Amino acid sequence: MRFPAAPPGPPGETAPVVVAGGGLVGLTAALDLARRGLRVVLLDEDDQVSEGSRAICFAKRTLEIYGRLGLGQRFLDKGITWNRGRVFRQDREAYSFDLLPEQGHEYPAFVNLQQYYAEQWLVEACAATGLVDLRWRHRVVAVENRPDGARLAIETPGGNYTLHARWLLACDGARSFIRRALGLPFEGQVFRDRFLIADVTTKAEFPTERWFWFDPPFHPGQSVLLHRQPDDVWRIDFQLGWDADPEAERDPERVRARVAAMLGPEVAFEIAWISIYTFRCRRLERFRHGRTIFLGDAAHQVSPFGARGGNGGVQDADNLCWRLAAVLAGEAPEALLDGYDAERIPAAEENILHSTRATDFITPKNAAAAAYRDAVLELAEDQAFARPFVNSGRLSRPWSGQEVAADAPVLRDNTPDWLLRHIGTDGRFTLVARDAVPPALPGITTILLADAPRSDALLDHSGLAAARLGLAPGEAALFRPDQVLAARLPATVAAPILAAHDRALGR
Ligand SMILES: O=C(O)CCc1cccc(O)c1
């Protein structure tokens, strides 16, 4: 579907927030800000959602964020749910893992979904808010970063204009024009390997699990990754090696032969999408540059293994938007935005570290690294101690430096419900108190978690909510609007709760 090009903005236009880039991260940020009541201008040089399935693996934390934004059920309904991965060496299983080995969560470890579905739902949700001005085919061609915002020169089919953004969110991807125009170095490691993505449509039945092969008989000496997507589409990533000729490898007949070797001659399939990629792990030194703030691939880049690219970007938006809304509402000083760098730079470092280690394992750089990898894989078949060393990608998790509210089943008015649906969904800080009624507090939503039924409480019938939040009776946990833990305190004393709220807002 093509969206109509928007007309140029009016002369001398100023917008409180401009999001540059209408991909997954830009759309998520625009929706999050609009849900907080902010007007957003969203600029995208294209006139359609992403081509090809792209970032297909949506991690539990990302699904929780989309749950907070009102889209979680769509991911569950359409996406392919999976928790388990299997790793094979040649034709034998070396290792398997369960990413969510416990019950009682609304969202699974992962949902696989073509990125274009997610983007289409985000476009629709942004439009429905009436607060996001989606401007398709608006290309930023110059940017000047000033103390009072960013001045953007924009080209459109209907003419050119300039737009003053009081705040600019640069979500314009790995090749970010804004990053390059501001001359910001984007440094890191280049991996000398090539991969082929083949999305194929087939009725073949594999389990809905992540399957990864080292040195399989159908693609000797290289690795292969298999994921199921909706609509009978399967994502296959073939490692090709650095010497592979990308043009030759793109030839559909050649791809067809590789897929046929994998699926077997009797399996019918169609090729839906082909892409060849190499990758880098790199990041900006800082993500906030005054009033221009970088998110997603514009700020940091990883390899696909571990699915930390798209998920990391959505988590950037989650971290930034409540801060920006609080600053624009005059509830917090601008310094609150420095917390974005303080949290998302180490988060990006963690993602880069995992991604680099996985890539080093998958693509050994020398004979010693290859010997280590082969020994680990061989041992892992029957020695449990070796299994944690098998690294086919450590799959996306929230940044380890902070605690996100855990989900748990609860009953509300005797109806099954989920704890996380009550934390941050109204855009505010939330105090969850166990078995003690907290005082009414300005700017804070309070939730009572009870061990026995009562009309003003969520009933923790399984005990999982209190256990996962680590709350004893009389204790409370204060969560930020992005569901991150801000403080643990006694439930009924107002002063320390208000002080923790002030601290979390940088006041
Ligand atoms: O399973 C993984 O480690 C990631 C799968 C993935 C995600 C995005 C692109 C891609 O080619 C593979």
Average pLDDT for 345-349 = 98
Identify the pLDDT of residue 205.
82
Atom number, ligand 1, closest to the C-alpha of residue 309: 8
Identify the pLDDT of residue 44.
98
Residue 35 Cα to chain centre, angstroms: 18
Cα–Cα distances in Å, from 15 out to 47, 63, 151, 157? Answer: 21, 30, 10, 21
Atom number, ligand 1, closest to the C-alpha of residue 85: 1
ipTM over 0.90: yes
Q: What angle do CA 413, 419, 420 make, to 5 degrees?
A: 135
Helix 24-35 / helix 309-328 crossing angle, nearest 10 deg:
30
**What are the structure tokens assigned to 394, written together?**
């450590």
Distance 455 CA to ligand 1 centre (A): 45
Give residue-wise pLDDT tens across range 223-273. 999 999 999 999 999 999 999 999 999 999 999 999 999 999 999 999 999
Contacts of 330 (CB under 8 A, 6+ apart): none
Identify the pLDDT of residue 365.
86
Are 75 and 63 in contact, with CB atoms under 8 Å apart?
yes
pLDDT band at 395 (very low <50, low <70, confident <90, very high): very high
Distance of alpha carbon 307 from alpha carbon 110, whole angstroms: 10
Pocket of ligand 1 (CB under 6 A): 55-57, 197, 210, 225, 227, 237, 304-307, 393
Pocket residue to mutate for ligand 1, from 53, 56, 191, most atoms within 8 A of Cβ: 56
Pairing state between β 57-59 and 110-112: antiparallel
| pLDDT mean across residues, the chain | 96
Distance of alpha carbon 387 from alpha carbon 390, whole angstroms: 5
Distance 470 CA to ligand 1 centre (A): 34
Q: Does the reported pTM lie above 0.95?
A: yes
Q: What are the structural domains of the chain?
A: 13-79+114-187+282-362 (3.50.50.60), 195-278 (3.30.70.2450), 409-504 (3.40.30.120)
Name the residue among 452, 420, 417, 413 with its Cα closest to residue 435: 452
Average pLDDT for 339-352 = 98
Distance of alpha carbon 33 from alpha carbon 17, whole angstroms: 9
Give residue-wise pLDDT tens across range 11-23. 999 999 999 999 9
Q: Return the SS3 of 112.
A: strand
Pocket residue to mutate for ligand 1, from 212, 237, 276, 397, most atoms within 8 A of Cβ: 237
Whose alpha carbon is nearest atom 10 of ligand 1?
304
Distance of alpha carbon 347 from alpha carbon 262, whole angstroms: 36
Q: Any bridge partners for residue 43, and if so which?
A: 20, 135
Q: Which of 253-257, 263-267, 290-294, 485-489 has the lowest mean pLDDT?
A: 263-267
Cβ neighbour number for residue 382 with a 10 Å cutoff? 8
Distance 54 CA to ligand 1 centre (A): 9
Atom number, ligand 1, closest to the C-alpha of residue 307: 4
Helix 115-129 / helix 24-35 crossing angle, nearest 10 deg:
30
Distance 212 CA to ligand 1 centre (A): 11
What one-letter code names the amino acid at 375? A
